[in-house]
Structure 1
Amino acid sequence: LDAKGPNVPVGSHTGHPDNPLYHTRDREYFGSPEKGDTIRPAFMYREFQANTSYIDRTVAYYISAFFWFWMFYHLYYFPGHIFGHHHAPYLEEFTDEELGIPDDNAPDPEYWGNHYEKPGTYR
């Protein structure tokens, strides 16, 4: 039995080989110049030419776009996932004395400011 699936360019051939129901092999695929591809030669001796096709560039573009979206989204909303978690204690765990809050009936502290000096001259 023949495998059934989409008829897309696989390797250098398009269509299904020798099967009229799923398209016969109509042509060989060497790239799409209208999409910016350079035509690949039918035969390469010893060295493969390192040029990419339109589908390679498109898939790489969308994968990289998704990656950067994921990075910036998590940097903004969940920075602990990327930078690591740290303990953020509740304020109820501390006493007023540890936080430096005076008692309600404590006298007001003396102000040590320079009330009558011109700003910028007393430093």
Structure 2
Amino acid sequence: MLGNKFVAQLALQQLRNRGLITSAPRLTSVRHRFAWGSDAVGPNVPVGGKMGASENPELHTYDGDYRGTISKGDKPIPDYFYRTPTTGRTYIDRCVTYFISAVIWAWFSYHMYYHSGHLLGHWYMPYLTEFTDEELGIPKDSADDPEYWGNHKKEYGTYR
């Protein structure tokens, strides 16, 4: 798409060619005379999805435009328009939306089924009665007493 500066320069050149602007532009005036009838017709400027006349290869640059898929129930998008109407969603928009939605729902369903703790923030925590003494690190009742790691045979206060 052509830049705004280039389009403005092109419009200024066409206005000069038509005689609507005869000298360098001044800050005090926009045009020097009032235009009537065919003189009031401006240059080909961007309107809608295309630019300029279709026989002008410099301004009419698109090879093809997507105007919707009529066979799939789309309303045709007009060629030129002053203000963009709300044309609804096209077939491509619906396909992309449904595909993205299906991927997101598949991811969500998979993770809710297999990894629900990741999404809900908690996992299954068994009751303490479900653990065995060995899992909790409790020795058997018949086991020897564990070695005491204190300071044997030393007076109180001398080992600190």
The TM-score, its normalising length taken from structure 1, stands at: 0.49
* Structure of greater Rg: 2
Taking CA–CA contacts closer than 8 Å with sequence separation of 6 or more, which of the two structures ends up with the larger relative contact order?
2
